[in-house]
Structure 1
């Protein structure tokens, strides 16, 4: 007679229910991380590393490479996912990168447009990887491959700390560089020479409110987005093999 399997009697749950590996999810996340790394490496090879690393675009893609790389490893090994505030924050930051680029910097109708000619060669490749491929990939992964319901309203305010820190960094960096330095301010809406500190702070308030609205949208979508199919377990007969 086979004794029943009991939970909570000194037997770890993972000893009864084996971890579920998700190789396809792992592969998708690895591709997103690879896209981010590729775009960053191209930019570093084409430009000055200190200047390249000063851009929010590159910094947010470094975060994507780390978080999606770790998430890919966990999915491959069947380990628990990263905390929701980490994956949600990564989505917010890379969405800021994509939205600001396409709606503001690459939009000729924008007051802060940076369209100065069509990019070509490796510049065009890195531009698409960092501003389009990774934002879309992270959004799809979050919407379709992660479990919903883990985000809290307070996270929206927490996620604003990094943009605020970046604002302080960009202004401090610009103040330390001599006037006329190339890319003294990484983005035109942060250019103190053009707008003055009052104008830059005004721009920061507008963008900050927009980022907060985006963060609230992510928290709201977390309540209604679809739940990935849950893995099913069954107890096989002894002839069929071990517990599945």
Structure 2
């Protein structure tokens, strides 16, 4: 588990470095923000998890945001092969592939394979949706001050037009719902196993057996029986 999470943090940091050196203002992207959360969360767990176990609710939120990053990218690219992001090479393409597909898949595996004993509160999935709503408000408010008015191409009304943007935006809710349901359903963890009650020797039924019992007589109490017949 520790080695897996070291690889996960390494992939996230490598992808962040690739994008930070190849695009302007990377902090404005949901992809970068969600992977920063992942690197901070799992980095903290690698250092402090034994002293103070992390909450399953926080892990669920991080996993959800990574799944949304993956699904939105996959749907917005018309379900194209993810490996196509690596075509042509370059650190930007490598960073996009790491942050859009490698870290989300690894986070989902960690969510389903580890920490199964930590349960998520039933209301947690509703709280997880708060950050994406805040991010949407941020994009609308900060758009005029960004190098690209529309952070993501599928939000560009000026280029696509409102009907096309509406059709593309209709693909987001299924992606959000799928990611939320996937995180909530796979992360609840099994119920703690109830220990079996101890058996009471006074009430426990011992099965009857046909085997004859052979109990040795105490020494000195036995008497030899005479082989001669007794006179009547």
TM-score, with structure 1 as normaliser: 0.66
The residue aligned with 1:184 is 149
The residue aligned with 1:162 is 131
Moved more, 140-149 or 206-215: 206-215
Structure 1 segment 16-27 matched on structure 2, within 5 A: 25-27=1-3
Q: 2:9 aligns with which of 33, 55, 61?
A: 33
Distance 1:125 1:176, change over 3 A: closer
Q: 2:18 aligns with which of 22, 32, 42?
A: 42
1:46 is paired with a residue of what secondary structure? coil
Q: 1:96 aligns with which of 63, 68, 74?
A: 68
2:28 is paired with a residue of what secondary structure? coil
Distance 1:204 1:148, change over 3 A: farther
Q: Which has the larger radius of gyration?
A: 2
| Preserved contact between residue 57 and residue 131 of structure 1 (Cα < 8 Å) | yes
2:193 pairs with 1:217? no
**Unmatched segments (≥5 aa) in structure 1:** 1-24, 110-114, 228-244
Moved more, 60-69 or 132-141: 132-141
2:39 is paired with a residue of what secondary structure? helix
1:82 is paired with a residue of what secondary structure? coil
Q: In structure 1, how many angstroms separate the alpha carbons of the residues matched to 2:149 and 2:179? A: 28
Q: In structure 1, how many angstroms separate the alpha carbons of the residues matched to 2:96 and 2:65? A: 17
2:158 is paired with a residue of what secondary structure? helix
Cα displacement (A) at 1:211 = 1.4
Cα displacement (A) at 1:224 = 5.8
Moved over 4 A (4+): 194-206, 224-227
Q: In structure 1, how many angstroms separate the alpha carbons of the residues matched to 2:139 and 2:111? A: 29
Q: In structure 1, how many angstroms separate the alpha carbons of the residues matched to 2:139 and 2:43? A: 28
TM-score, with structure 2 as normaliser: 0.69
Q: In structure 2, how many angstroms separate the alpha carbons of the residues matched to 1:123 and 1:162? A: 26
Residues 142-172 of structure 1, C-alpha deviations (whole Å, 9 max, x = no match): 1111134511232111111111111111112
| Preserved contact between residue 160 and residue 212 of structure 1 (Cα < 8 Å) | no
Cα displacement (A) at 1:117 = 9.7
2:47 pairs with 1:87? no
| Preserved contact between residue 153 and residue 216 of structure 1 (Cα < 8 Å) | no
Distance 1:66 1:226, change over 3 A: farther
For these two proteins, the number of residue pairs brought into alignment is 190
| Preserved contact between residue 143 and residue 226 of structure 1 (Cα < 8 Å) | no
Distance 1:200 1:226, change over 3 A: farther
Distance 1:161 1:206, change over 3 A: farther
Q: In structure 1, how many angstroms separate the alpha carbons of the residues matched to 2:120 and 2:9? A: 23
> What is the Cα-based RMSD across aligned positions, in Å?
3.0
